[in-house]
Structure 1
Amino acid sequence: MSLAATPDVQAGLLLREWRRARRWSQLDLAMTAEISARHLSYVETGKARPSREMVGRLADALEMPLRERNALLLAAGHAPQYPEHGLDAPQMARIRQTIDCILRQHEPYPAFVMNRHWDILIANDAAIRVNRWLLDGRDSRHRNMLRHFFDPDDLRARVVNWEEVAGELLRHLHALVASTPSDLNARTLLEEVTAYPGVPSQWRRRELGSVPAPVLNVGFRHQGLELGFFSALTTFGTPRDVTVDELHVECNYPADAATAEFCLALKQRQDAGDTEAGGIPSPR
């Protein structure tokens, strides 16, 4: 086995990549993890293999997500600590029940369940209704929220404040890329969405010091009507599963009375079985 393939070296390289992504010196990380800087240096250079307990302390200090903690454990020659189950697995029954309750209770307003790459895993009926109205009765070809907003042939054409919304979404994506250096899917998504026509070239670079806004405001215009929403995110506070760690529920709230009334009217049409009124097909 070559030196480059040994667990000692692989763990050290991965740890160094994470430390540099945090813009920390070895001393910064050693002090935060409460270990000696010399021992950390030995770990990063492959002269010492970190124990499971040491990996946990370093991962805690670096605030690594569960998926990356497992990767660091594997790189160090240890078994992964955190399981990963699909949302339909029996072990996820309570999580799925909680999610379903949130989505139902949020009617008649849109709500989505997404993973950390903004792939839409579940959407409530309201989200489907509003999305189909905005797209003249058709479904989007994308299952990813960023692609929805950046594709000129998708929702982008309906967004009144597109530059504001797209800029905020990119701040979140840039933050993910910067904070999770081993996430190649996030990097690929960033390259893809910034390659769409009309995206300013400077958006491909992260704006240092820029912090994503806690609430995202989105305005839509279609068929002579304007809708306004603001969103809030819900995450699970103490996840012990990789899937749960990466989930977030986005609930859209009406920004004005007109939007609230429109969303209620769409639901009433669906409940009445009126698939023709306003060109709104039933999502069922």
Structure 2
Amino acid sequence: MSGEESSVGALLRAWRTARGKSQLTLALEAGISSRHLSFVETGRSSPSREMVLTLAETLEVPLRERNALLTAAGYAAIYRETPLDAPAMADVRDALEHILRASQPNPTLVVNRRYDILMTNEAARRLVGFFAPSWRGSPNVARMLLSHDGLRPALRNWNEVTTHVVHRTRSELAASPSRDAADEALLQELVAAEPELRRAAGAPTRPPSVLVPMTMQRGEVVVDLFTTITTLGTPLDITLQELRIETLFPADARAREALSAILAGS
């Protein structure tokens, strides 16, 4: 980004636009004058540290990007990014392990904003092992969906599921001015995959559903699944805020029977 584009005023304006708020609305919600906000966005006034944090809170800016706003304004970042395997995260890991065990027999994954798989339960390991037995790549959901050695051959509605995951992951990464090398590498792969996804889309064959289904098949075994995503409440660490707990549920009785057979190894 150029210096102008990465200034705190430009970043705040971008977040305000993304949230669909006018200057007047944001100013009222944040308790400041719209004139002052206008001066901040245009660079005519430098915001205090407290104002940056107030505006970021009002705009519901993710913690990682709050650090970027503070840095752009000339202040030190305040939010930590603690690796999940750090000793300080022991209690969090224990809680996640409990959630994963309690989710059995439903396959459950803990992923980050790149959809890197950080933790799984036994059901998820068995499901992936059954439908992607040749996968030896990185533990990343988007890459598994895009690869012919991953889940792609097993997904009947590959385009629908993959388009959804690629769009969501790309949107989150592309919106972040604080991307690292791993973010950039995955983002480039997702951008490169989009032309094929558009070509394969075709015309809709059914009305939109309230959920994106996932139909997986290997031989005679067919499993219809849907997913739910859970996040951790009120986190103050970047790692924790970006965690997603994704659980797959069988869509009907037939799917429950097929999933049970897969998990039993039969």
TM-score where L is the length of structure 2: 0.82
Q: Which residue of 2 aligns with 1:146?
A: 142
Of 242-251 and 158-167, more deviation after overlay is shown by: 158-167
Corresponding letter in the other structure for 1:172: R
1:68 counterpart residue number: 65
**Displacement of 1:155:** 0.9
What residue identity is the alignment partner of 2:255?
T
- 1:82: which partner in 2? 79
Instruction: Give the structure 1 partner of residue 131 of structure 2.
Output: 134
Alignment of 1:10-159 (within 5 A): 10-135=7-132, 137-159=133-155
Unaligned ranges ≥5, structure 1: 204-211, 270-277, 279-284
8 Å Cα contact 1:116-1:247 kept in structure 2: yes
Moved more, 86-95 or 189-198: 189-198
Q: Partners of 1:130 and 1:184 in 2: how far apart?
A: 31
User: What's 1:200 paired with?
Assistant: 198
3-state DSSP class of the match of 2:222? Answer: strand
Preserved CA contact (<8 Å) 1:112 1:251 = yes
**Counterpart Cα distance in 1 of 2:221 and 2:249:** 17
Give how far 1:36 is off. 1.3
**Whole-angstrom CA distance in 1 between matches of 2:224 and 2:104:** 16
Q: Cα offset for 1:69?
A: 0.9
Q: Cα deviation per residue 1:42-75 (whole Å; 9 max; x = unaligned)?
A: 2223332212221121102211001111111122
CA contact (8 A) 1:126 1:263 kept: no
SS at match of 2:7: helix
Partner Cα distance (1:56, 1:107) in 2:
40
Matched, 1:237 2:233: yes
CA distance in 2, matches of 1:265, 1:159: 18
Unaligned runs of 5+ in 2: 202-207
Matched residues in 1 for 2:185 and 2:12: separation?
A: 22
* Alpha-carbon distance change, 52 to 248 in structure 1, aligned in 2, over 3 angstroms: same
The letter of the residue matching 2:123 is A
TM-score, with structure 1 as normaliser: 0.78
Report SS of the residue matched to 1:121. Answer: strand
Q: Which amino acid aligns with 2:196?
A: G
Counterpart position of 2:204: none
2:251 to 251, 255, 266: 255
Whole-Å separation in 1 of the counterparts to 2:237 and 2:176:
21
SS of 1:112's partner is strand
1:241 CA displacement: 0.8
Residue 182 of structure 1, aligned match among 158, 161, 177 = 177
**Count of residues in correspondence between the two structures:** 254
2:223 aligned counterpart, secondary structure = strand
CA contact (8 A) 1:66 1:241 kept: yes
Query: How far 1:214 moved relative to its partner?
Result: 6.5
Which residue is equivalent to 2:205? none
CA distance in 1, matches of 2:12, 2:196: 38
Deviations 1:152-187 (A, max 9, x none): 342111111223222332453365357x35264667
Distance 1:108 1:165, change over 3 A: same
Letter in 1 for 2:177: S
